[in-house]
Amino acid sequence: MKYATVLGVLFGFLLAVGALWAGVTGFLVVAVLCTVGGVVGAHLEGIIDLRAVFSSGHRGRG
């Protein structure tokens, strides 16, 4: 998917717009949601592999 990272960041931003009324807490929520959206978008574009990140400490069963 082209531009998935940008769309992910924008989606995270839109989800956090309602939190802007909370001052510094709202800013932190916006920052976290934009980061999460950017990471998910980068994963969808193939820039990063979240499966490799989350399974790096697991050797499997047995």
In a domain, residue 27? The reply is yes
pLDDT at residue number 61: 60
Tell me the HSE value of 52 on the side-chain side, using a 13 A CA sphere. Answer: 5
pTM for the full predicted model:
0.61
Question: Which residues have C-beta within 8 Å of that of residue 25, sequence separation ≥ 6?
Answer: 19
Which residue, among 11, 16, 39, has the nearest Cα to 27 in the 3D structure?
16
CA angle 10, 13, 18 (to 5 degrees): 145
Residue 60 included in any domain: no
pLDDT digits (tens, 9 = 90+) for 23-42: 777 777 777 887 888 898 88
Give yes or no for residue 55 having a pLDDT over 60: yes
- Overall domain count for the chain: 1
| 17 within a domain of the structure (yes/no) | yes
What pLDDT does residue 60 have?
A: 59
Q: How confident is the model at residue 18, as a pLDDT?
A: 64
For residues 23 and 62, what is the distance between their CA atoms, to the nearest angstrom?
49
Can you give the residue range of the structural domain that contains 19? 4-49
Assess contact for 19 and 9: CB atoms under 8 A: no
